[in-house]
Amino acid sequence: MIIITATFVLSDPATRPEAITKAIPLQQATRDDEPGCESYVFSPDPATEEKVVVFELWDDRDSLHAHFDHQNYFNMGSMFGQVGLASAESKKWRVTACEPVYDETKNARADFFSSPSQVPDDPIVVAGYIDLHDPSERDDLLSESIPFQLATRNDEPGCQMYVFSPDPCRPERVEVVEIWDDMASLEAHFSHENYFNMGGLIRSTSGRESNHRKFRCDVNEPVYDNDRRARADFFTI
């Protein structure tokens, strides 16, 4: 599996609603029509009004390579080019292990408990979703989560990304993307007040279904090479 994470900073934050609306059919088409696409979400960061956060999960290099030649990819790039970007940063991550965040006893685990080996120094991506039984609760939930998101990003060592955001294609869904430097930083997060505060906020909703996975990654590098070509292979190794 290959993960892509990205952050787009819009030139004008006022254009973000337009960009997200225009992205919806392109996101849905990629999810529905492109083999090997497990996740493809471009969502507004609730804590930063000018940012759009990207999470993609692809089965393998071939499926990602095909995406980079697909009209959906070109249409998405063209749309954001028209809206206007101040900057963009993207990475792809090679996944070596994947398992649920929670074990059979419902404890959050930073170690890969189903794996015969541990690689404590490798980065870990946590990704998943929360589907609210009442979609009307989503806006309030995300608004109230902003202090906890910012505290986690700013105060917890090893946190590279921590975003709970609305999936534009699913009115009931909250998309979750976290990136941690290593096993120790994620383990510390699971004992931190921010983690418990966020969990309490989520449990205050009237009901929900959720799915959270963690991905151990041995290599990460830019999506684009020096010639500005999107690459599905890991060209730096």
Does the pTM surpass 0.85? The reply is yes
Token pair in block for residue 146: 């902003």
The verdict on residue 148 lying in a domain is: yes
Model pLDDT, residue 193 = 97
Q: How many domains does the chain have?
A: 1
The verdict on residue 171 lying in a domain is: yes
Model pLDDT, residue 47 = 97
Domain assignment of residue 140, given as a range: 2-222
What's the pLDDT tens digit per position in 178-225?
999 999 999 999 999 999 999 999 999 999 999 999 999 999 999 999
What's the pLDDT tens digit per position in 139-179?
999 999 999 999 999 999 999 999 999 999 999 999 999 99
- List helix spans (H) across the chain: 16-33, 61-68, 71-83, 138-155, 183-189, 193-203
Model pLDDT, residue 180 = 98
pLDDT at 115 over 90: no
The verdict on residue 39 lying in a domain is: yes
What's the chain's average pLDDT? 97
The verdict on residue 228 lying in a domain is: no
Query: How does strand 85-100 pair with strand 37-44?
Result: unpaired
Mean pLDDT of the region 2-20? 97
The verdict on residue 235 lying in a domain is: no
The verdict on residue 173 lying in a domain is: yes
The verdict on residue 233 lying in a domain is: no
Give percent of the chain with pLDDT exceeding 70: 100
Give percent of the chain with pLDDT exceeding 90: 98
pLDDT at 117 over 90: no
The enclosing domain of 12 has a CATH number of 3.30.70.100
Model pLDDT, residue 98 = 97
**Cβ atoms within 10 Å of 195's Cβ, excluding its own:** 17
pLDDT at 40 over 90: yes
pLDDT at 3 over 90: yes
The verdict on residue 52 lying in a domain is: yes
Mean pLDDT of the region 16-28? 97
Cα distances (angstroms) measured from residue 165 to each of 31, 48, 49, 79, 193: 18, 11, 12, 21, 20
pLDDT at 116 over 90: no
